Amino acid sequence: MPYFDAASSAPLHPVARQALQASLDEGWADPARLYREGRRVRLLLDAAREAAAEAVGCRPDELVFTSSGTRAVHSGIAGALSGRRRVGGHLVVSAVEHSSVLHSAAAHEAAGGSVTEVAVGRAGAVTPDAYAAALTGTTALACLQSANHEVGTEQPVAEVAEACREAGVPLLVDAAQSLGWGPVRGAWSLLAASAHKWGGPAGVGLLAVRKGVRFVPQGPADERESGRAAGFENVPAIVAAAASLRAVRAEADAEGVRLRGLVDRIRARVPELVPDVEVVGDPLRRLPHLVTFSCLYVDGETLLHELDRAGFSVSSGSSCTSSTLTPSHVLRAMGVLSEGNVRISLPVGTAEEDVERFLAVLPGVVRSVRERLGVGDAAGTPAEPVPEAAPDSGAGVDALVVDALVVDALVVDALGKRCPIPVIELAKVIGKVPVGGVVTVLSDDEAARLDVPAWCEMRGQGYEGAHPADGGTAYRVRRVS
């Protein structure tokens, strides 16, 4: 069964498994003790730190191991903000950061700090100028991911790091998705990552803090890991994490080229095979193994279940798969379609035939899901327009033309209906108004804020905005063709 969700957690690398098994026999003692068992474990821990620091591009004494990548992010942000509290309480993040960063930002704001979210373009990247403009004299810390976990877009970290350096602001980089593919370039100040993203064991994160960065660890003091990560080190897992990072880096150039070719094939073929699909993320500046696309008129949860039944494990940022029915904050920030979203992230060693089989299976799966919702592959194709009625003809509210001026007439009541029903209903009726006519969609589904404008973009229709309405929001769509 092909596993296509390495961005969530990569399969354990063979080198990690070997290192873990070997170090379980040697790495059980306390590395802080001076007897021989402790000294032996200390040697293992120091060697792992040196290997990880070399991969990160920092000094070994600048790097500590944490209990997870999330813990590394939380500790890094809290420690840097506390260390620079005399400068101010302003934090800058991008709008597409991992939830661990955004949760830290929310906690900082709740405690009285201020946060600026830098917007991204439709490809999911910030611009260095926009990021630089967000920095102020009271900015204590800036955060920017190296590459996005949902769409794979790489961020201009080196350029943003230079802007932060000129402003005297430290930059924390969440490198969880990219570290296995190569070091993060630029003059960053702090870096966080997570071993299970590159094929190491879960429960190991790392945090690098450059010398000279003001940093005050939060929480009770602890003598472990320079006081920055409390608790007894899981040395066998740390050794396996460092060993696997070195191993995947050795394979990264060749495997990156191979997987990029497979992803390019998916990016090109999916829109050819499946009607009404939007492939999102930067087509060039992106991770080599990750691609995301969204399908109109598809229930995302059903789509993922059907792909699983067909033998493919994939992920999604679609609100249709969320118990909260809230669209992915990444897709929302990009302003792209959220319904029927599929994220494919190929693990190291993915076979070409597995990708070909996925491409063969996908069209039928999407078609079957659409048919269950009463939509065929031709969904969204405008129907023949309703003949224009004379002003005195007594025509109903579906279409009215008075003195050749089209007035708002058709209202789609989708209140209480969830993704993707509001857009499906819109697609079914757009042809019932003449060119220039307006359809108003009433919806209380949060996903509609993304999906209605995205549908207009994909179908070449005019989105004219939204306004509050009884029980929800009214979205205005003008028929262009």
Average pLDDT, stretch 448-472? 90
Structure tokens at 282: 């930067």
pLDDT at res. 408: 53
Q: Say whether the peptide bond before residue 468 is cis (omega within 30 degrees of 0).
A: no
Candidates 480, 296, 455, 459; CA nearest to 385 is 480
Q: Is residue 40 scored above 60 in pLDDT?
A: yes
Return d(Cα 443, Cα 476) in angstroms, integer.
Answer: 11
Q: Computed from CA positions of residues 366, 367, 368, 372, in that sequence, does the dihedral angle turn out positive or negative? A: positive
Average pLDDT, stretch 367-386? 65
pLDDT at res. 187: 95
Q: Which of 143, 320, 419, 456 is catalytic?
A: 320
Q: Is residue 72 scored above 70 in pLDDT?
A: yes
pLDDT at res. 407: 45
Among the residue ranges 98-102, 290-294, 325-329, 332-336, the one predicted with the least confidence is 325-329
Structure confidence at residue 152 as a pLDDT band (50, 70, 90): very high
Residue 291 β-bridge partners:
344
Among the residue ranges 114-128, 194-208, 375-389, 416-430, the one predicted with the least confidence is 375-389
Strands 410-413 and 438-443, by their bridges, are parallel
Pick the more confident residue, 78 or 378: 78
Q: What's phi and psi for 273, nearest 5 deg?
A: -90, -30
Mean pLDDT computed over every residue of the chain: 90
Q: Of all residues in the chain, what percent carry a pLDDT higher than 90?
A: 75
Q: Is residue 223 scored above 80 in pLDDT?
A: no
Place of tokens 């991770």: 287
397, 412 Cβ separation under 8 angstroms: no
Q: Is residue 368 scored above 70 in pLDDT?
A: yes
* Cβ atoms within 10 Å, residue 378: 10
Candidates 214, 204, 161, 142; CA nearest to 179 is 204
Q: Is residue 44 scored above 70 in pLDDT?
A: yes
Among the residue ranges 21-35, 203-217, 291-305, 375-389, the one predicted with the least confidence is 375-389
Output the CA torsion 157→160→165→168 (10° steps): -120
Candidates 93, 85, 99; CA nearest to 214 is 85
Structure tokens at 22: 């070997």
Average pLDDT, stretch 154-172? 98
| Residue 164 bears catalytic tag | no
Q: Is residue 293 scored above 90 in pLDDT?
A: yes
Pick the more confident residue, 232 or 146: 146
Among the residue ranges 48-62, 254-268, 326-340, the one predicted with the least confidence is 326-340
Q: Of all residues in the chain, what percent carry a pLDDT higher than 70?
A: 91
Return d(Cα 334, Cα 336) in angstroms, integer.
Answer: 6
Q: Is residue 405 scored above 60 in pLDDT?
A: no
pLDDT (tens digit, 9 = 90+) per residue, 2-13?
999 999 999 999
Return d(Cα 437, Cα 383) in angstroms, integer.
Answer: 14
pLDDT (tens digit, 9 = 90+) per residue, 406-437?
445 689 999 998 888 889 899 889 988 899 99
pLDDT at res. 433: 87
Share of the chain residues as helix, strand and coil, in percent rounded to the nearest 5: 40, 20, 40
Candidates 443, 436, 417, 424; CA nearest to 374 is 424
Is this structure's pTM higher than 0.85?
yes
Residues 6+ apart with CB under 8 A from 11: 3, 199, 347
> Where does 117-211 have alpha helices with state H?
128-134, 157-167
pLDDT at res. 319: 54
Return d(Cα 180, Cα 6) in angstroms, integer.
Answer: 12
CATH numbers and ranges of domains, the chain? 14-248 (3.40.640.10), 251-372 (3.90.1150.10), 401-478 (3.30.110.40)
pLDDT at res. 349: 95
pLDDT (tens digit, 9 = 90+) per residue, 382-404?
333 334 433 333 333 333 333 33
Q: Read off the DSSP letter of residue 414.
A: -
Q: Is residue 26 scored above 50 in pLDDT?
A: yes
Burial class, 190, CB count within 10 angstroms (exposed 0-12 / middle 13-18 / buried 19+): buried
Average pLDDT, stretch 190-200? 98
Return d(Cα 460, Cα 382) in angstroms, integer.
Answer: 11
Return d(Cα 58, Cα 60) in angstroms, integer.
Answer: 6
Q: Read off the DSSP letter of residue 298.
A: -
Structure tokens at 432: 């019932």
